Amino acid sequence: MFTFKKRIAALVSAMAITALALSGCAGAGPDSDESSAESTQGTGTLTIGTIVASTTFAANNAPWSNESPYLQAVYDTLLHAEPDGTVVPWLATDWSYNDDMTVLTLNLRDDVTFTDGTKFDASAAAQNLLRFRDGTSPQKGYLATLADAKAVDATTLELTLNSPNPSLLSFLTQNPGLQQSPATFDAADEKTNPVGSGPYILDTKATVVGSAYVFTKNPDYWAPESQHYAKVVMNVYTTPTAVLNALKGGQINGAPVSDSAMIAQLEPAGLTVQTQQLNFFGLLLFDRDGAIEPALADVRVRQAINYAFDRKALLESVGQGNGKVTSSIFSPDSSGYVKDLDDFYSYDPEKAEELLAEAGYAAGDITLKMPTSSGFAPATYALVKQYLSDVGINVEEVGVTPTSFLSDLLAAKYASTVMMLKTAPTSWETVTLDLLPSSGWNPFRVKDATVAELAATIQSGTEEEAEAAAKELNEYIVEQAWFAPWYRPDLNYATDAKTSVEPQSGNSYPYLWNFVPKQ
Amino acid sequence: MLSFIARRVASGIVLVIAISVIAFALLYAGGGDIARRMLGEDASPETVAQKATELGLDQPLTQQFLTWASGLIRGDLGTSWFTSQPVSDAILSRLSVTLSLVFGAIVVVAFASVILGTLAATRRGWIDTAVQVLSLLATAIPAFLVALGLVLVFAVNLGWFKPTGYVQFTDSPAGWLSSITLPITALALGGIAGVTQQIRGSMIDSLRGDYVRTLRSRGLNAPSVLFQHVLRNAAGPGLAVLGVQFVGLIGGAVIIEQIFAIPGMGQVAVTATSQGDIPLVMGLVVVTAILVVILNLLVDLAQGWLNPKVRLS
């Protein structure tokens, strides 16, 4: 018979043993002892922080941006993009268009093999492209004009388009260009066990899905010079504080820092922070034809709204001073960027009132119904209300749950809203995302003859004609006040003293091969 | 005893079913357009509709629940919409992490509470006052603040422990200890305060009891009276509080796992819930409910084991 003391001791011991045993059964976590980048190229471990888990490794459904590091580790793309966005050869060594830019012919490498032993060839590439077009990737629209993809021979791939796509080469450097082994198409585990021809192989045993992804070097990689590390670990952090602690504690070599207020703590700790601007923040004025808010059909009202905001003050108060004020939605990386447009609308409430009066509206005549989401700081909405109220425009706020905010906006339920959208790296992408009647961010399907004409030139004109048209379109959209942007917020990426990296134009994460251990 | 266990198991099953139905309804009520959120702002309406069909979201709600429930009966909890991982794999790999965190915390709570509660009840005076004040402070300061303070001081500044992440015990016992010490400390502090007070109070009551006076008058030495009789009587209420604390600690682990980026159930629960990953959330709900039912049953059995009077009642 146990004594009471022995029983207590036995109970506690059992609990402790169970805890130890259970901890031993857990999935693998990152070992920080290995997390530092070593100086010898191709031998160390790169550990980076990410802010989302991989939703899928199935190439046909894969997203990009925040998930690009996962996909770049295991898959090759047909083309590569330099940090400044310049398209360079990769699996495709060279390419050419026909005269009307509806047929793209690419010559492919003949020395590439997927990690399951399947040979990469033009047939595999064609299958991947068509499968992406028909899949459910958020960016599947990038290949919407792809009529057909066929292998002319083992190393010649021919893409036929319904209409020219000036951004196609750029798109082939991203998820549309991912090459998965056709032998694994529709495999039961293709979403979690990728088979590509990329520089690394996912170590599924060491990976804790949703938390830490471990990749080991592909020993048979055809381009070993781009394998700067022997092992790559990607840790998912769901809070900015965890990212900060991991960076300061030396557990990761690099990570995006979403909260600019944290930068002040990183630089004294020996970390380097690089910034780029990939989004614009401000008001979207959807209802340019006045379908549900008639006043917005008058360009003077839309211009008045633009003059009503003190962009510099908004950047300081809402954006904590980290960014660049602008009146345009075009990216500085795109051909349509016009620097002078950044300052096109000054803060001029008197002019705003004059424009409203010219349009026939007295103070209080216009009430804009705007959705509010917890995704943006409440102070932002208070400022919008204040600035517009100062020129005589009322704002009626409608609380919307974050889970339906996006859907409501895209379903044309509101004439205007506070929103952050990406500034696309190419002008054609800006056109297709935001400006055409078919664009997702033109939910009221507004048609405009000038926009259509300039868009056609951007799509089918020569490079010079397209660039001139893009600039003209940018100026037109700003003058017509289709939007009321305030500023382009800084996106920050921090790296430790052992790692150097170049930010990638148009992408929130540096591309994987841009990470190099410092010598 | 067997009928007692059978009744508890039956009521547990009813509880799990009720919780599942409510959770499913609530998730859909606040779910919004999940396919849109999955695909983001760039996806066309056609792609969103295609994704919704792929996920079965175009089916009536009752049909979706029945599909999920029939899978559950077959032992198939489905696949996470946001990580593509089978839900059962996701939970199994994370359950062990959370349980090691919670078990670790409960061991610390049990040890520290018995020591502090006994000291406070037997010595009284300044020790008692100090224990009371410290308990009050530990109760008043939220666990996440304690966690943030611990990370800043002992991990980031002093570098003694890992600020984030989790290392398997089998990979590196030292690494495991380094990764789990601060989270367990942060998680256990509030529990220590509660259980210490319970043990202290129960022991003071027991020490005033007639049977203690009788035992002492029979010449039993003080340690025997204290540990074999007084502590044994005080252990019942303490264990009951410890059981409640265990459930509370599972909740507390949600915050702690977020702060320390520990790949446990709490972390995945927060992410899955905010994303609207219904298969994963439902799996977590069911497993947690079963865990709590089993735990309550074990606490009842342990109380009976420690104190025969409970068995009689």
Residues A289-317 have pLDDT tens digits of 999 999 999 999 999 999 999 999 999 99
pLDDT of residue B232: 73
Q: Do B261 and A237 touch (CB under 8 A)?
A: yes
B177 has a chain A CB within 8 A of its CB: no
Average pLDDT, chain B: 84
B308 has a chain A CB within 8 A of its CB: no
How far does the CA of residue A418 sit from the closest CA of chain B (Å)? 14
Q: Is the pTM of the predicted complex or chain greater than 0.80?
A: yes
pLDDT of residue A23: 35
Q: Do A208 and B99 touch (CB under 8 A)?
A: no
Task: Taking residues A24-38, report their average pLDDT.
Answer: 38
Chain A residues with CB inside 8 Å of B30's CB? 401, 403
Q: Do A246 and B163 touch (CB under 8 A)?
A: yes
Residue appearing with tokens 């062990």: B96
The closest alpha carbon to B100, from B14, B167, B45, belongs to B167
The closest alpha carbon to B250, from B296, B214, B207, belongs to B296
State both tokens at B189. 């502090």
Rounded to the nearest 10 degrees, how much is the dihedral formed by the CA atoms of B218, B224, B227, B230? Answer: 10
Give DSSP secondary structure letters for B88-149: HHHHHHHHHHHHHHHHHHHHHHHHHHHHHHHHHHHH-HHHHHHHHHHHHHHHHS-HHHHHHH
In this structure, are residues A226 and A76 in contact, taking their beta carbons and an 8 Å threshold?
no
* Percent of chain B at pLDDT exceeding 70: 94
User: Rounded to an integer, what distance in angstroms lies between the CA atom of residue A510 and that of residue B296?
Assistant: 50
**pLDDT tens profile B217-257:** 777 777 777 777 777 777 777 777 777 777 788 888 888 88
* Percent of chain B at pLDDT exceeding 90: 15
In single-letter form, the type of residue at position A182 comes to P
Task: Tally C-beta pairs within 8 A across A and B.
Answer: 219
Task: Taking residues A396-425, report their average pLDDT.
Answer: 90
Task: Taking residues A106-126, report their average pLDDT.
Answer: 97
The closest alpha carbon to A382, from A367, A369, A397, belongs to A397
State both tokens at A412. 């044309």
User: Rounded to an integer, what distance in angstroms lies between the CA atom of residue B297 and that of residue B5?
Assistant: 8
Chain B residues with CB inside 8 Å of A20's CB? 100, 169
Grade residue A5 by pLDDT with cuts at 50, 70 and 90: very low
Q: β-strand A212-217 against A200-202: which pairing, if any? A: antiparallel
**pLDDT tens profile B39-70:** 888 888 889 999 999 888 888 888 999 999 99
Task: Taking residues B148-159, report their average pLDDT.
Answer: 87
Task: Taking residues A103-107, report their average pLDDT.
Answer: 98
**pLDDT tens profile A340-386:** 999 999 999 999 999 999 999 999 999 999 999 888 888 899 999 99
Q: Do B42 and A433 touch (CB under 8 A)?
A: yes
Q: Do B261 and A441 touch (CB under 8 A)?
A: no
Would the pLDDT of A12 be above 50? no
Q: Do B40 and A63 touch (CB under 8 A)?
A: yes
Cα–Cα distances in Å, from A16 out to A409, A429, B107?
53, 58, 7
In single-letter form, the type of residue at position A125 comes to A
Would the pLDDT of B115 be above 70? yes
